[in-house]
Copies of this chain bind each other. A is one copy, B any other.
Amino acid sequence: MNKKTIEKFFAGDTLTASRLMSVVEKGGADAEDVLNTLFPKMGRAYRIGVTGLTGAGKSTLVNQLTRLYRTRDLTVGVVAEDPTSPFSGGAILGDRVRMLDSHGDAGVFIRSIASRGNETGLSQKASELADILDAFGRDVIFLETIGVGQLEYKIRYSAQTTVVVLTPDAGDDVQSLKSGLMEIGEIFAVNKADRPVADRFADDLRSMLDLRSTGDGWEPPVVCTVATTGEGIDDLAKAIDQHQSYLDTNGLLEKKRIDALTNRVTIIAEEKLREIFWENGYIKERLKSTLDDVLSGTISPYQAADKLVTPFKHDMDNAEGDAR
């Protein structure tokens, strides 16, 4: 990264920020360079994950929360995963358009990220775009993501507070919710709470959460909202505030930071390791014949994997004692 770009970025130039986010989205060495350069300035923003199934009203909810945080004079960044039209490859704009009533406010920076099938990579990218907004000085960053499951979540996460958005009609039954979503929620928003079954749904959810053993002692509240009218948004913001001060009082913010960074290093190291492995001359050479042996039924997939990996185990073990 050249000095001028860095200067412009830290001077608050949104066009530069936007460009750097595109570089990061593209990935590769340039992306690493940007993330490395800006890293010392990251870690100041409060990150709020808003997750749930498609159609739950996440975007509208984020929009309402954004408006509310703006009245508190906090700057806001939004990183949102867009469901991609499976055939056109383009993002579906419906939800995004509704977000635009914050458009023109320099205190709000919205960035969509198109999901193109690779959810894991996407999750990491979403976190990295949030990193840029963080370094850019946003006070609050929303990570609006499609709720999938716990694995997804673990890969992705750098949020301090996670809001799971549900609707009373999600299978008509709290029990049928994916366990992953239930486990990651620190606050549950029952959106579209003007529907007749909403109260019962919220009660069922509360009873389920009562049974939950929370690792860090926090008891996830259930907040009813109608994102389209703004009903319940104050309560939701209050719940987020309470969670934030709970984390703060109990020294959990630092724990979350350590977990998130450890997780990030692990993911990136494994990615690099995979790359090194498959690009290795020996592997390239041996892969075809090994696969042929599997296809002919001579060796099993596990035996094939052993055949490929074992030589490296020896190298690594032997190299342990060497000076590096």
Q: Which residues of A contact B (CB under 8 A)?
A: 32, 35-36, 39-40, 43, 54-55, 83-88, 92, 94, 115-120, 146, 148-152, 169, 171-173, 175-180, 182-183, 208, 211-213, 257-258, 261-262, 264-265, 268-274, 276-277, 280-282, 290-291, 294-295, 297, 299-306, 308-309, 311-313, 315-320, 324
Q: Given A84-B179, A87-B208, A290-B265 in contact, is the A36-B151 Cβ separation under 8 Å?
A: no
CB of B54 within 8 A of CB of A176, answer yes
CB of A87 within 8 A of CB of B273, answer no
Chain B residue nearest to A290 (CB atoms) is B265
CB of A265 within 8 A of CB of B280, answer no
Seed contacts A269-B277, A276-B312, A315-B318; 16 additional CB < 8 Å A-B pairs: A32-B302, A39-B299, A83-B177, A94-B175, A116-B179, A117-B179, A119-B148, A261-B291, A261-B294, A265-B308, A268-B305, A270-B274, A273-B277, A276-B313, A280-B316, A315-B316
CB contacts (< 8 Å) of A277 on chain B: these are 269-270, 273, 316
Max chain B Cβ within 10 angstroms of own Cβ: one of A35, A175, A273, A281: A273
Q: Given A86-B183, A280-B320, A301-B264 in contact, is the A54-B178 Cβ separation under 8 Å?
A: yes
For residue A53, give the distance in angstroms from its CB to the closest CB of chain B. Answer: 8
Chain B residue nearest to A208 (CB atoms) is B87
CB of A295 within 8 A of CB of B85, answer no
CB contacts (< 8 Å) of A299 on chain B: these are 39
CB contacts (< 8 Å) of A169 on chain B: these are 169
Max chain B Cβ within 10 angstroms of own Cβ: one of A85, A149, A290: A149
CB of A117 within 8 A of CB of B261, answer no
CB contacts (< 8 Å) of A117 on chain B: these are 149-151, 179-180, 183
**Cross-chain pairs A/B with CB under 8 angstroms, 23 sampled:** A35-B301, A54-B178, A85-B175, A86-B177, A86-B212, A92-B176, A115-B179, A119-B151, A264-B301, A265-B290, A265-B294, A265-B308, A268-B302, A268-B304, A269-B305, A269-B308, A270-B274, A271-B305, A273-B277, A277-B316, A281-B320, A311-B319, A312-B315
